[in-house]
Amino acid sequence: MVNNHSALLRPAQAAEWLGISVPKLYRKVKEGTLPPPYYKQANSVAWLSRELDSIAAAIECGYSIQEQKEIVELIIESRDTAKDNVLMKNQIPQNTFNEIVECVVNTLICGKKITIADLNQLIPVGMDKSAQSIIRRIQEENELELSHQRSKKGKPAYWYVTELAAVRYSLYQEENKKVMAERAKSSSHRFDVSCLKGICNRRGAKFIVENMNI
């Protein structure tokens, strides 16, 4: 089953998505710098848009041909792993919290989306943890960039990891650390600015200036 945040693209659509011709699309598949079609039938093939996005982002970031091939290998490996996966609740009947977190991380990297209900089902009876506990642990201790989709049209909210974030996490640890550090710095700056704006709105700019040296 394809994740809701991905679309199946026929050859002409996939080529247009990448800004190349259809012949070049197939040449890139042959040379290993583009994954083979995700969907294959007798007279029909299609690619996943999120997989193409990963390759496009790698090219834009200046990744070498060899690095692009490594990304393709990871995409193919992720496909195989996802096909073999069963529901997480069947994988971990009574594990420790750390093992639960590790399983969630591995599942996210494979391209699955996870809801609060999914996470709560993983927590054994008597364990003083919640879905938010798992998410907080991943954010605090794992250098994995989580994306969140809010609930809409009756569908529950869920967390997921983009293909590019999964590639960085799995293959390019040093680059990933720099990206996550920059994200944390930016988030901290936005929080500080938000606090200052709140104080300014409540007490006025003069209050901030008068208390700068406290």
At position 199, the amino acid (one-letter code) is I
CB 164, CB 55: distance < 8 Å: no
The more confident residue out of 10 and 199 is 10
What's the token pair of residue 53?
């996005």
**Residue 88 confidence (pLDDT) above 60:** no
Q: Which of 78-87, 89-98, 125-134, 180-189 has the highest mean pLDDT?
A: 125-134
CA distance 104 to 42: 36
Range of weakest confidence among 33-42, 89-98, 141-150: 89-98
> What is the number of H-type helices and E-type strands within the chain?
11, 5
pLDDT tier at 149 (50, 70, 90 boundaries)? confident
Q: What global pTM score does this model have?
A: 0.43
Please state the three-class secondary structure of 113-173 as a single string.
CECHHHHHHHCCCCCCCCHHHHHHHHHHHCCCCCEEECCECCECCEEECCHHHHHHHHHCH
Range of weakest confidence among 25-39, 86-100, 127-141, 199-213: 86-100
Give the three-state DSSP class for 87.
Answer: coil
Question: CA–CA distance from 46 to each of 20, 81, 204 (Å)?
Answer: 16, 20, 58
| Sheet of strand 44-48, all strands in order from the earlier edge strand to the far edge | 8-9, 44-48, 39-41
CB 54, CB 164: distance < 8 Å: yes
